[in-house]
Structure 1
């Protein structure tokens, strides 16, 4: 049987992911979670506020309240990154194989695995993605040089989200 803290962690991970339905069965116990989103946003970026200006006929009758609507950015949203100056043909994206939390070092007091300018091989560990208390080492997959780190330490990452750009050799 799962502990309450483990269930809360699963709920948090499901809530922060794009999964709509999740079911877990173990030893006769069953947990089923479903999200019912009113609206699906694809590739959402923080929007500027939109102000509704009352028309002339509305101004003459009764004063209409001015409303503001804004698309709320997702929590821990990745800031928009500028494209690197190099050609994309030689760049390999190291992506996250799962939903979880990105860590750039093996422990809080240790040095980061890699930073921009570091040389890596196919088997070089570049980061850790933690999912449900399991720490998964992510390898570079290619031989080359780290051009850019695309996420911050401790940031929630999605499946397939680019983590690093590597200039292949």
Structure 2
């Protein structure tokens, strides 16, 4: 069976290629990735709109205010340069704990290792552990329990060791 990193690699490959679809089955586990042909969509969008569309998702903080984070092409502050971002490997519902009655996997100030489970993401009734993939201290949790997260969306900021 594929792990989440292998699935991400398949998605990245299909997204940047001329492959229309990848279908993988192993026992009852099925992964189906379709290329939506983004080159054609971008051409249509640019003809219809004169202003460019931002590809950076807006994140709402705990007070309900929009967090306007700079995109990768913009300058970042000194503080942000000292942190690494743990991002979502897939689209799904974010859960900070293994069950509603259990404590959160991590909280601000906790030390994490690469293999530390930091949250679970639910997609199609399957729960997927998300690992930190970095050694360091959790500085900020960027999403709330029960939020729907997108592929590549920042979840946590970690100050590396």
Shorter-normalised TM range: 0.5 to 0.7
TM-score normalized by the length of structure 1: 0.54
Provide the C-alpha distance between the structure 2 equivalents of 1:86 and 1:117, rounded to a whole number of angstroms: 20
- Aligned partner of 1:81 in structure 2 is 67
Deviation at 1:92, TM superposition (A): 0.8
CA contact (8 A) 1:128 1:136 kept: yes
1:125 aligns with 2:140: no
- Aligned partner of 1:101 in structure 2 is 93
CA contact (8 A) 1:93 1:162 kept: yes
CA contact (8 A) 1:81 1:150 kept: no
1:42 aligns with 2:28: no
Give 4+ residue runs of structure 1 displaced > 6 Å after superposition. none
SS at match of 1:87: helix
Q: Structure 1 unaligned runs (5+)? A: 1-21, 27-31, 46-76
Deviation per residue, 1:47-100 (Å, 9 max, x gap): xxxxxxxxxxxxxxxxxxxxxxxxxxxxxx6313377x8722221100000011
User: Across the two proteins, how many residue pairs are aligned to each other?
Assistant: 110
Q: Structure 2 unaligned runs (5+)? A: 1-20, 26-33, 61-65, 70-76
Q: Which structure: greater helix fraction?
A: 2
Deviation at 1:42, TM superposition (A): 3.2
Provide the C-alpha distance between the structure 2 equivalents of 1:117 and 1:88, rounded to a whole number of angstroms: 16
1:160 aligns with 2:152: yes
RMSD: 3.3
Which structure has the bigger radius of gyration? Answer: 1
